């Protein structure tokens, strides 16, 4: 937290805005961690709600000239309404797992097409430019949060608040219920849980949080284009949570921030390199770390590698042989 | 609050043209204890499925406390007090034993005036107090059976449906289960489906025999065991062995 508070005083404006955008992706990762990591609902189109939040914010503020708060509310409303409708028809009809994932991908592509072709509202391929930054007016006072430092703190506060909230939910009894539904939905039904309703609730909450991330993204960068709906970004979201560890809170956020920064770096050298690296990471994750990256396992692996290089005392070798038997 | 709790009339369900359950009439009062036996494929598990709402009946009517429940989802049955212990084992494997009980209790407690039973007391009752913080996936088969029974108790049942509760239990554990079932009967009705005739005999209760989807005999275990026709259908030599 101290680091988050101090960074703006040391980092240059470019670095500050890059890391801030990465933190926004951390919020998105958190929303997906709640949905997939906790409740076990896999979607390939989670960025639908990020895009709805971003476009809702942009259209309300730019095309209709409304205040930023209204834009945020409209963005969230669009995402919540879309999630509620899609979720109701799919989850209540018993659509689960890969079927749900494939339909969510189709929804993402529909949203992308809509953003490209509804030019009068969405600006088509160019998207919407000149989106105002965040500001809140209470009476005659206006709290402007559009500057580089102010927007940094806004994003950081939202990220911390969302992390704390989700941490509390996961630790609560309701978190256990979600665990149970993810682990054995049939059994949860037999315990009297209306599982479809609980999954819908999580789906909608997750969409709302993704929409907040979308609105922040639009407000911070000032532009929104149809590529927020790209399947590539939707894949990245899954990878963040997979690498960070499903159901853990800090891991996915850190993975999102780090990988987004890596993407920025790689893209500055070559635009084609990133999908290749992403695919490689995904494969490596599925093959070698199905439970995500764990620091203590990394340390152990380093120890093992070290011992292999420098040799190890015979006692260790005997102990190891026993373990293998 | 006395009187009929569950009433099913002419319950039927066919799978692929075969009548798994064909026109069963059933009434269960609040403190009944009932055992259903029958050969494999007689429709016992389907009957439990129908009574617990896991399977919707093809025809027939089902009421709980006078409220029509035909075609309602399984979680609604559970909220009305029909709680099922599955055949074999069906728990939340990724969670600890205690969390399994807590989650099982919370779902129904939201709909009841009474708070959920104390999970630690239930752990004590099913003999899993020592394994409270173990993952359910680490329990051996027999102990998972006890965990399931504990989960069913946590759901505050009015009617407890036990699908082969003695499967995988040692003879000693089976006797412990018989005692537990008799204790539970002071609070709720129990319907057990069982293959193990020794277990049915020690329950010493009303016993029904199912054959080809129909209930062909209803009576005490002693009457059933003495019935020549039942022996021919099902019991065979095992009955003589169990009866003496």
Element (H, E) at B107: helix B97-109
Q: Does residue B11 sit within a domain?
A: no
Is the CB of A267 inside 8 Å of chain B's CB atoms?
no
**CA torsion sign, A225 to A230 to A234 to A236?**
negative
Inter-chain CB proximity A193 and B107 less than 8 Å: yes
- How many domains are there within chain B? 1
The CA distance from B43 to the nearest CA of chain A, in Å, is 20
Model confidence pLDDT, tens digit, residues A45-87: 899 999 999 999 999 998 888 888 889 999 999 999 999 999 9
pLDDT for residue B183 is more than 80 = yes
Element (H, E) at A117: helix A97-117
Average pLDDT for chain A: 85
Strand order in the sheet with B214-220: B82-85, B159-163, B189-193, B33-37, B206-211, B214-220
Model confidence pLDDT, tens digit, residues B3-59: 789 988 889 998 888 888 988 999 999 888 999 988 888 888 899 999 999 999 989
In this predicted structure, what is the pLDDT of residue A306? 78
**ipTM computed for the complex:** 0.84
Model confidence pLDDT, tens digit, residues A138-170: 767 777 777 778 888 889 999 999 999 999 998
Inter-chain CB proximity A192 and B90 less than 8 Å: no
**What mean pLDDT comes out for the span A296-300?**
75
Element (H, E) at A143: strand A141-144
Report the distance separating Cα B179 and Cα B185, nearest Å: 10
pLDDT for residue A264 is more than 80 = yes
In this predicted structure, what is the pLDDT of residue A6? 76
* Better-scored residue on pLDDT, B241 or A111: A111
In this predicted structure, what is the pLDDT of residue B243? 44
CATH of the domain at B229: 3.40.50.300
**Is the model's pTM score more than 0.95?**
no
Report the distance separating Cα A281 and Cα A260, nearest Å: 13
Report the distance separating Cα A18 and Cα A258, nearest Å: 11
Is the CB of B88 inside 8 Å of chain A's CB atoms?
no
Q: What percent of chain A has pLDDT over 90?
A: 38
Give contacts of A179 with chain B, Cβ < 8 Å: 92, 94-95, 99, 103
In this predicted structure, what is the pLDDT of residue A311? 64
pLDDT for residue B1 is more than 90 = no
Element (H, E) at A281: helix A273-288
Number of Cα atoms under 13 Å in the Cβ half of residue B186 = 4
Is the CB of A227 inside 8 Å of chain B's CB atoms?
no
Model confidence pLDDT, tens digit, residues B149-171: 899 999 999 999 998 888 878 88
**E strand segments, chain B:** 4-15, 18-29, 33-37, 59-64, 67-68, 82-85, 159-163, 189-193, 206-211, 214-220
Give me the residue from B84, B93, B94 closest to A190, CB to CB: B84
**Beta strand B18-29 pairing with B33-37:** unpaired
DSSP 8-state class, residue B239? H
Give contacts of B84 with chain A, Cβ < 8 Å: 190
Inter-chain CB proximity B107 and A183 less than 8 Å: no
Q: Does residue B238 sit within a domain?
A: yes
Inter-chain CB proximity B103 and A188 less than 8 Å: yes
Residue B187 lies in domain: 31-57+72-243
CB B21 within 8 A of CB B43: yes
Is the CB of B86 inside 8 Å of chain A's CB atoms?
yes
Element (H, E) at A136: strand A135-138
In this predicted structure, what is the pLDDT of residue B235? 55
The CA distance from A181 to the nearest CA of chain B, in Å, is 8
Mutate to test the interface with B, among A171, A190, A196 (most CBs of B within 10 A): A190
Q: Does residue B25 sit within a domain?
A: no
Is the CB of A290 inside 8 Å of chain B's CB atoms?
no
pLDDT for residue B237 is more than 70 = no
In this predicted structure, what is the pLDDT of residue A29? 93
Average pLDDT for chain B: 86
Q: Does residue B10 sit within a domain?
A: no
Inter-chain CB proximity A180 and B103 less than 8 Å: yes
Mutate to test the interface with A, among B56, B74, B162 (most CBs of A within 10 A): B74
In this predicted structure, what is the pLDDT of residue B151? 92
Model confidence pLDDT, tens digit, residues B128-140: 888 888 898 888 8
Count, residues in chain B: 244
Report the distance separating Cα B94 and Cα A183, nearest Å: 7
Give contacts of A183 with chain B, Cβ < 8 Å: 92-95
CB A125 within 8 A of CB A112: no
Report the distance separating Cα B1 and Cα B187, nearest Å: 12
Q: What percent of chain A has pLDDT over 70?
A: 94
pLDDT for residue A211 is more than 90 = yes
In this predicted structure, what is the pLDDT of residue B78? 92
Model confidence pLDDT, tens digit, residues B98-118: 999 999 999 888 888 888 889
**What mean pLDDT comes out for the span A32-49?**
91
Report the distance separating Cα A231 and Cα A105, nearest Å: 8
**Closest chain B residue to A177, measured at CA:** B103
In this predicted structure, what is the pLDDT of residue B159? 93
CB pairs under 8 A between A and B: 70
Mutate to test the interface with A, among B106, B122, B155 (most CBs of A within 10 A): B106
Give me the residue from B78, B93, B99 closest to A191, CB to CB: B78
Q: Give every CB contact of residue A96 below 8 A, 6+ residues apart in sequence.
A: A41, A185
Report the distance separating Cα B76 and Cα B85, nearest Å: 16
Residue A1: pLDDT band with limits 50, 70, 90: low
Count, residues in chain A: 325
In this predicted structure, what is the pLDDT of residue A313? 53
**What mean pLDDT comes out for the span A262-286?**
84
Q: Does residue B8 sit within a domain?
A: no
Is the CB of B106 inside 8 Å of chain A's CB atoms?
yes
CB B57 within 8 A of CB B70: yes
Give me the residue from B79, B92, B102 closest to A192, CB to CB: B79
Give me the residue from B75, B86, B94 closest to A192, CB to CB: B75
Q: Which of A82-86, A240-244, B221-225, B240-244 has the lowest mean pLDDT?
A: B240-244
Q: Does residue B22 sit within a domain?
A: no
Is the CB of A235 inside 8 Å of chain B's CB atoms?
no
Q: Does residue B92 sit within a domain?
A: yes
pLDDT for residue B244 is more than 60 = no
Q: Does residue B7 sit within a domain?
A: no
Number of Cα atoms under 13 Å in the Cβ half of residue B149 = 30
**Closest chain A residue to B52, measured at CA:** A190
Inter-chain CB proximity A194 and B93 less than 8 Å: no
């Amino acid at each position: 937290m101290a680091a988050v508070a101090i960074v703006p005083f040391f980092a240059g404006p470019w670095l500050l805005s890059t890391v801030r955008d990465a933190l926004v992706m951390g919020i998105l990762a958190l929303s997906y961690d709640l949905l997939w990591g906790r409740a076990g609902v896999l979607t390939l189109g989670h960025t639908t709600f990020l895009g709805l939040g971003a476009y809702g914010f942009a259209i309300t503020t730019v095309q209709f000239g409304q205040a930023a708060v209204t834009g945020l509310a409209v963005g969230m409303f669009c995402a919540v309404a879309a999630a509620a409708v899609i979720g109701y028809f799919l989850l209540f009809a018993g659509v689960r797992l890969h079927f749900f994932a494939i339909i969510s991908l189709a929804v993402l592509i529909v949203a992308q097409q809509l953003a490209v072709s509804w030019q009068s509202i969405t600006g088509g391929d160019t998207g919407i430019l000149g989106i105002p930054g965040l500001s809140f007016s209470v009476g005659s006072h206006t709290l402007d949060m559009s500057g580089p430092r102010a927007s940094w703190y806004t994003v950081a506060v939202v990220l911390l608040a969302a992390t704390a909230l989700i941490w509390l939910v996961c630790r609560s009894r309701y978190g256990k219920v979600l665990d149970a539904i993810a682990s054995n939905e049939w059994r949860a039904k037999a315990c009297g849980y209306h599982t479809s309703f609980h999954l819908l609730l999580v789906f909608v909450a997750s969409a709302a949080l993704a929409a907040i991330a979308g609105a922040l993204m639009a407000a911070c960068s000032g532009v929104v284009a149809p590529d927020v709906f790209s399947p590539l970004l939707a894949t990245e979201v899954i990878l963040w949570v997979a690498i960070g560890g499903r159901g853990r809170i800090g891991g996915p956020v850190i993975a999102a921030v780090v990988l987004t920064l890596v993407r920025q770096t790689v893209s500055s050298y070559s635009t084609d390199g990133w999908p290749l690296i992403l695919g490689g990471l995904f494969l490596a994750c599925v093959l070698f770390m199905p439970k995500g990256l764990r620091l203590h396992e990394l340390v152990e692996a380093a120890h093992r590698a070290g011992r292999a290089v420098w040799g190890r005392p015979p006692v260790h070798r005997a102990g190891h042989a026993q373990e293998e038997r | 609050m006395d009187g009929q709790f569950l009433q099913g009339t002419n319950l039927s369900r066919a799978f692929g043209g075969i009548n798994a359950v064909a026109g069963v009439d059933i009434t269960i009062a609040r403190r009944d204890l009932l055992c259903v036996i029958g050969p494999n494929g007689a429709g016992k598990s389907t009957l439990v499925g129908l009574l617990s709402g896991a399977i919707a009946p093809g025809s027939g009517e089902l009421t709980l406390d006078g409220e029509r429940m035909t075609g309602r989802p399984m979680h609604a049955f559970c909220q009305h007090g029909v709680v099922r212990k599955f055949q074999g084992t069906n728990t939340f494997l990724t969670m600890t034993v205690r969390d399994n009980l807590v989650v099982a209790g919370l779902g129904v407690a939201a709909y009841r005036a009474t708070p959920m039973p104390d999970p630690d007391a239930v752990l004590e009752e099913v003999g899993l107090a020592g394994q409270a913080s173990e993952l359910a996936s680490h329990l051996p088969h027999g102990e998972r059976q006890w965990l399931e029974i504990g989960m069913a108790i946590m759901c505050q049942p009015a009617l407890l449906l036990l699908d082969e509760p003695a499967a995988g239990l040692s003879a000693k554990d089976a006797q412990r289960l018989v005692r537990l079932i008799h204790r539970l009967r002071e609070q709720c009705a129990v319907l057990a489906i069982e293959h193990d005739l020794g277990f049915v005999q020690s329950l010493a209760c009303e016993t029904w025999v199912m054959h080809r989807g129909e209930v062909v005999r209803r009576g005490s275990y002693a009457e059933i065991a003495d019935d020549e026709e039942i022996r021919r259908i099902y019991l065979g030599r095992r009955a003589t062995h169990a009866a003496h």
